[in-house]
Amino acid sequence: MRDMERPLTVSGLLEKRAELVKLRTALEIELQAVVFDLDHLDACIRLFDPEQASPVRKRYTVQHAARGGEMARFVLATLRTATAPMTAREIGVAWAKDNGVEPSEVTGRVLRKRAGACLRNLARKGHVMALGREDDDAKGWRLV
């Protein structure tokens, strides 16, 4: 009954929402391009003048960010195909390989923390559970 009273209002709001989502996506892509350009310019400046320090940014960009829900989907898909429980580090390395990222020490640590946070969140929701592993002190995770 409620939908029948104002069908144009709801469809108009949905249309406007879709328009704003497209705009947000375009702006995020443009922002990412500008951030990369700034990073490249800073690197070039340091090549010619190593003493030159770039100004500190107020907002730091997140390297190798996953969009909303992407990490959770990846973790669940990885655990579905795993033959044994996996650690957050193993899942982070798998994410890096899947996305073409070279897992350096710093990147590996960031991805391990993200995978661990995702695993804890999924455990709270009842999708995964932690198991102790005999070979090291790291937690192994598997699907429930």
Model confidence over 79-105: pLDDT tens digits? 999 999 999 999 998 988 888 877 778
* Whole-structure pTM value: 0.54
- Give dist(CA 99, CA 95) in Å, integer: 6
Band of pLDDT at residue 1, cut at 50, 70 and 90: very low
Backbone angles phi, psi at 131, to 5 degrees: -130, 145
Quote the tokens at residue 16. Answer: 């406007």
Name residue 130's beta-bridge partners. Answer: 141
Q: Across all residues in the chain, what is the average pLDDT? A: 82
